[in-house]
Every structure is written in C-alpha cells, then in structure tokens.
C-alpha cells in the first residue's frame, strides 16, 4: 500500500493509501503480540490521517484534493535514491553480524517498553495528551461563528429557522 501513495493521482487518495499502509504496520505490531502498542499505532495513525484530510479539504485550492496531480517530483532522481537506499539496507541484512540473545522473552514486553520509553514521565504525557485534546476541541468551538441553537433560538422557540448565514437548507 505504500507504493499506492505515489501511484494515485490525488492528495486525498494518497492520504487514504498512506492510512492503509500505516494500518497494516499496526496490524503487524499486533501480530507480534504487542497489543497495546499495536492499538496505539492504529488509533494514532487514524487520527493523524483524518486531521490531514480535514485540513486538506479546508485549505487546498482544488476540492478535497481530488484533482489529478503528480505525487512525485524529479522522478528519476527519487527512483535512484530509492533503489540505492534499498540496496544499502538489503546489503545490511546480510553483511551485518546480528547479535543473538540467550535471555528468555519477558512476560510483559509492552509494560517494559512503556517503562523504558516513558519512565517516570507517564503522568506528564497523560496530562499533555488531555491538554492537546482540550486544545483541539477549543479550537473547533472557537472557529465556528454560530452554535447549534442559533437557527431556532436558545430555547428552540422560533417556529421557522432564522439562519444567520443566508442560503441555508430550509428555504
């Protein structure tokens, strides 16, 4: 699916192809029995790609990024770099003396990974996550110039909607 990112002819399709490749990577993490980390990767990538698609719809000049366009610039140069990188990495698989371990597999690899990555900062990261989420919600609320009850009034007392933005659906 990663190749599809460069083969499709629009930003929107490339976004969803990238999402699919990230989901497959998350499923791979699930298959090695790192459940928490796999679910975290999947949820994080879904949210990241959705936010990217929303901003693409809002700010791109073409509608929803669906206009045909090329996704690769300098095709010959990028192909040469990609082939060279693949060759170096593939050679590394066979030429590097990989270490072996006699240690047994830990009972809770996800817990050990979390402790190794976060250490005593887990509470800080949870609070930062909540603060970022609150910031996103506040930004969306402040970006709208009308609330949910503006059309029928605060107590829903108007019989017909008073749409502050002309051209509403109830005409």
Could you tell me the residue range of the domain that residue 117 belongs to?
Answer: 108-171
150 lies in a domain?
Answer: yes
Q: How large is the average pLDDT for residues 89-94?
A: 95
- Within-domain flag for 101: no
Domain shared by 119 and 67, yes or no: no
Residue that is last in its domain, among 47, 72, 97: 72
Per-residue confidence at 152, pLDDT binned at 50, 70, 90? low
Q: What region does 32 belong to: left with phi over 0, alpha with psi -120 to 50, or beta?
A: alpha
pLDDT of amino acid 31: 93
Pick from 100, 111, 98, 93: nearest CA to 33: 111
- Is 140 part of a structural domain of the chain? yes
pLDDT above 70 (res 25):
yes
**Integer Cα distance of 43 and 129 in angstroms:** 14
In a domain, 94, yes or no: no
Helix-strand-coil split of the chain, %, nearest 5 = 65, 0, 35
Decide if 9 contacts 71 (C-beta within 8 A). yes
Least confident of 19-33, 102-116, 120-134, 149-163: 149-163
Q: Report how far apart, in Å, the C-alpha atoms of 41 and of each of 15, 16, 19, 133 are.
A: 16, 16, 11, 17
Same domain, 120 and 61: no
Residues 21, 68, single domain; the answer is yes
Residue 53 lies in a domain: yes
Same domain, yes or no, for 67 and 112?
A: no
Residue 55 belongs to a domain: yes
Instruction: Report yes or no on 102 lying in a domain.
Output: no
Does the pLDDT at position 171 exceed 50?
A: no
> What is the domain count for the chain?
2
3-state secondary structure of 53: helix
Do residues 4 and 54 share a domain?
yes
What pLDDT sits at residue 42? 92
Give pLDDT, residue 145: 65
Residue 96 lies in a domain: no
pLDDT > 60? residue 123: yes
Kindly state whether residues 10 and 68 are assigned to the same domain: yes
């Amino acid at each position: 699916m990663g190749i599809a990112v460069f083969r499709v002819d629009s930003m929107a399709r490339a976004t969803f192809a990238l999402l699919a490749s990230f989901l497959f990577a998350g499923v791979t993490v699930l298959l090695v029995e790192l459940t928490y980390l796999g679910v975290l990767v999947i949820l994080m990538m879904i949210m990241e790609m959705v936010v990217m698609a929303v901003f693409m719809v809002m700010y791109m000049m073409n509608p929803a990024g669906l206009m045909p366009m090329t996704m690769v610039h300098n095709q010959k140069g990028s192909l040469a770099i990609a082939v060279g990188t693949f060759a170096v990495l593939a050679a590394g698989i066979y030429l590097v003396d990989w270490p072996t371990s006699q240690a047994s597999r830990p009972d809770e690899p996800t817990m050990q990974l979390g402790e190794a990555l976060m250490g005593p900062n887990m509470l800080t990261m949870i609070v930062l996550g909540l603060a970022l989420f609150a910031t996103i919600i506040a930004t969306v609320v402040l970006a709208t110039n009308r609330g949910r009850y503006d059309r029928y009034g605060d107590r829903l007392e108007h019989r017909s909607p008073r749409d502050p933005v002309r051209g509403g659906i109830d005409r």
